[in-house]
Amino acid sequence: MNSKQRFKRLVMHGLPDRVLRDYWAVPEIDKRLLKHYGLETRDALLDKLDIDFRYIDGPRYAGPPLAKHGDGSEDDIWGVPRHTIFTGEGEFRGSYKAVTVHPLKECKTVDEVLKYQKWPSPDWYDYSPIAEQCETCGDRVATFMGDRLNRIAQLKPAMYLRGVDQILIDMRRKSNDVFVAVRDKIREFYCEYLRRILKAARGKIDVIVTGDDFGTQNGLFCQVEVWRKNLMPGFKEFVQISKAAGVPVMHHSCGSIRPIIGDMIECGLDILNPIQPLVYDMDHAGLKAEYGSRLIFHGGVSLQGPLRFGSPAEVKEEVKRLCTETLGMGGGYIACTAHNIQADTRTENVAALFEAYEQFSAY
């Protein structure tokens, strides 16, 4: 059974020959694993690890040049400046892009929001490479997710534009017209962007990944009723656009989101990622018992547990538990970490992770 066949059986809630495997890691981990295994390319690494998913680049940006600023920061597609921050030292050195300014933070009216000069357009992208990108995936699962700064979402781009605190205040106000204006501009962009991606793919994309963090480690960012009113309709629209094209959907949300998982399933969601461990009310066995017949789980391997702080043997024990006792028991699971493996993770623990996938994935 190849990866596409395995995935098709999975989304039909059948039992494939083994647990599917995915790989999420920062580029620094890629480089160390290539050296560890004596390989030259990332594709060769994914083949060696027998990873079922291949993430395509998607549409090519062809819009106006994104601004670069004197402090070294650069705008993302929303006009949000970001500065590269470096962490760690030596082989554990990593980097990420941090927001320096929230350009809509001081807006008081809908008119100010609508007059913002840096709203992106779906016309800024060349969608023609997508079908060919999918073809290069061969019998692996052709997956579109986008990068972290341009992922189909509502709340996260709004946080970048207004600031986390301000957008959450906006959303909860009785008169939340500023929130609605920001959200609707984002939603309109991503709906059309997604439609064009699916059209250009000509049926060759196997799964769409949306990404919007709805939870903290202690609970939702907002009350369930606020989420249902303000974010659920757009979430459902993204899912249904993809499902109308015959493409299943996986959604990424960090944090404790159990109160809305049933709503997400009602919207048509197929796969939930990352099932973050060590957060409130997201115990894997309980989630499997409650939702396992209707939802596929992706992720679950903690970045705050043995992979980061334990031994290779402890890493393998965690994978065994996930694959055979909780999320993977009886099918319905894609083995992966709960986020990108970070640069401060020891190589021997990462190697143990993939050895464990091989050891404990058979059904």
- Give the chain's radius of gyration (CA, Å): 20
CA distance 184 to 43: 38
pLDDT (mean) for 283-309: 97
Quote the pLDDT of residue 92: 86
Tokens found for residue 93: 């050195």
The answer to the question of residue 81 being in a domain is: no
pLDDT (mean) for 151-157: 97
CA 97, 100, 105, 106: dihedral to nearest 10 degrees? -160
How far is residue 306 from each of residues 24, 51, 198, 217, 298, measured CA to CA in Å?
17, 21, 39, 18, 18
The answer to the question of residue 112 being in a domain is: yes
CATH (domain of 236)? 3.20.20.210
The answer to the question of residue 311 being in a domain is: yes
The answer to the question of residue 169 being in a domain is: yes
String of DSSP letters for 174-194: SS-HHHHHHHHHHHHHHHHHH
Quote the pLDDT of residue 349: 98
Number of domains in the chain: 1
CA distance 154 to 108: 20
Burial class (CB in 10 A: 0-12, 13-18, 19+), 150: buried
What is the average pLDDT value for the chain, to the nearest integer? 96
pLDDT band (50, 70, 90) for residue 323: very high
* 3-class secondary structure, 220: strand
* 3-class secondary structure, 281: coil
CA distance 337 to 254: 12
pLDDT (tens digit per residue) in 192-231: 999 999 999 999 999 999 999 999 999 999 999 999 999 9
How far is residue 113 from each of residues 101, 123, 159, 179, 231, measured CA to CA in Å?
16, 20, 14, 9, 19
The answer to the question of residue 86 being in a domain is: no
The answer to the question of residue 98 being in a domain is: no
The answer to the question of residue 76 being in a domain is: no
Quote the pLDDT of residue 194: 98
The answer to the question of residue 99 being in a domain is: no
How far is residue 176 from each of residues 39, 78, 111, 181, measured CA to CA in Å?
53, 21, 14, 9
Most distant CA atoms of the chain, gap in Å: 59
pLDDT (mean) for 11-29: 97
pLDDT (mean) for 304-329: 97
pLDDT (tens digit per residue) in 65-121: 999 999 999 999 999 999 999 888 888 888 888 999 999 999 999 999 999 999 999
pLDDT (mean) for 129-151: 96
Reported as type and span, the H/E element at residue 126 is strand 125-126
The whole domain housing 243 covers 3-61+105-360
